[in-house]
């Protein structure tokens, strides 16, 4: 189904019949993607003295409890409340859900003992484009990203300089296929997070970071419309389901 969206950049046509899901589902399995040194998610029937919430066990309905951490167990979207002493909710701060987005593929560079995504790389790939959202696919892009365990792997990260550049381009939402935009062990500096939200200046309360996405190789780099869907959790972060739509005209 082709629809036209009124946007501040003009009228955009998108094909709603071809959603490109870039989320990773949450599964009660050791093969679920994982980070931050905790065990896998659990999804299990409620059990009381007289009831087991499973049709298979004789109940009328399936009635499961779910135990997970949004930051560690799958695609999630976070607000500035992730790094502030005061409480801020993603459900309160994310008030719009459709954005122009640019998808770029980046091969992180070696830097000392790390691999990084630099300002130079982002600048070269964005050129003069200033989308509302930036979707970053790291290379190589293998399917094991959907079940990789990242703890103690020293994953690639965005430099502070790169994130300052992203902020200065007016980009409001960053999506990446890693557990964090920052270094795994950084002594609590959180340089990329703080640079993006302008932590020490006029804070960008409406802006978000989405981590643990997965963008299939057949989805080409370029311009898209992003539908950033979250669960209505009153928390700094929520499980999310970002969807890309091709812009036809």
Which DSSP helix (H) or strand (E) runs through 78? strand 76-78
Q: Give tens-digit pLDDT for 193-209.
A: 999 999 999 999 999 99
Confidence of residue 2 (pLDDT cuts 50, 70, 90): confident
Separation between Cα atoms, residue 211 and residue 225, nearest integer Å: 18
Mean pLDDT of 214-232: 97
Confidence of residue 5 (pLDDT cuts 50, 70, 90): confident
Mean pLDDT of the chain: 96
Q: Give tens-digit pLDDT for 132-173.
A: 999 999 999 999 999 999 999 999 999 999 999 999 999 999
Confidence of residue 12 (pLDDT cuts 50, 70, 90): confident
* pLDDT computed for residue 31 by the predictor: 97
Separation between Cα atoms, residue 115 and residue 199, nearest integer Å: 24
Which DSSP helix (H) or strand (E) runs through 168? helix 160-168
* pLDDT computed for residue 11 by the predictor: 83
- For the chain, the straight-line distance linking the first and the last C-alpha, in angstroms and rounded, comes to 14
Separation between Cα atoms, residue 111 and residue 214, nearest integer Å: 24
For the chain, the domain total comes to 1
- Let me know if residue 130 belongs to a domain: yes
- Let me know if residue 56 belongs to a domain: no
- Let me know if residue 62 belongs to a domain: no
- Let me know if residue 144 belongs to a domain: yes
Q: Which residue has the tokens 């812009």?
A: 247
- Let me know if residue 200 belongs to a domain: yes
Does position 185 have pLDDT exceeding 80, yes or no?
yes
* pLDDT computed for residue 182 by the predictor: 98
- Let me know if residue 202 belongs to a domain: yes
- Let me know if residue 10 belongs to a domain: yes
Handedness of CA 181, 202, 78, 34 (dihedral sign): positive
State the residue range of the domain holding 169: 2-25+72-246
Does position 114 have pLDDT exceeding 80, yes or no?
yes
- Let me know if residue 66 belongs to a domain: no
Q: Are residues 192 and 181 in contact, defined by beta-carbon separation less than 8 angstroms? A: yes
Q: What is the CATH number of the domain that holds 101?
A: 3.50.30.50
């Amino acid at each position: 189904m082709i629809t036209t969206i009124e946007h501040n950049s003009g009228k955009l046509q998108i094909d709603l019949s071809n959603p490109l899901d870039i989320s990773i589902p949450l599964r009660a399995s050791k093969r679920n993607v994982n980070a931050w040194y905790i065990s896998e998610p659990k999804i299990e029937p409620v059990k009381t003295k007289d009831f087991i919430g499973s049709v298979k066990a004789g109940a009328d309905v399936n009635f499961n409890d779910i135990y997970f951490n949004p930051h560690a167990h799958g695609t999630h979207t976070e607000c500035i409340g992730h790094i502030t002493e005061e409480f801020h909710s993603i459900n309160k701060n994310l008030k719009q859900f459709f954005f122009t987005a640019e998808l770029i593929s980046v091969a992180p560079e070696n830097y000392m003992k790390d691999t990084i995504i630099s300002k130079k790389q982002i600048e070269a790939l964005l050129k003069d484009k200033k989308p509302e959202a930036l979707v970053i696919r790291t290379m190589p892009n293998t399917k094991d990203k959907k079940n990789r365990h990242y703890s103690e792997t020293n994953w690639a990260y965005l430099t502070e300089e790169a994130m300052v550049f992203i902020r200065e381009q007016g980009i409001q939402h960053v999506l990446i296929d890693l557990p964090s935009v920052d270094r795994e062990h950084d002594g609590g500096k959180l340089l990329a997070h703080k640079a993006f939200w302008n932590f020490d200046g006029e804070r960008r309360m409406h802006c978000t970071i989405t981590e643990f996405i997965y963008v299939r190789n057949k989805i080409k780099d370029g311009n898209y419309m992003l539908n950033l869907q979250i669960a209505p959790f009153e928390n700094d972060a929520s499980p999310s389901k970002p969807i890309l739509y091709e812009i036809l005209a």
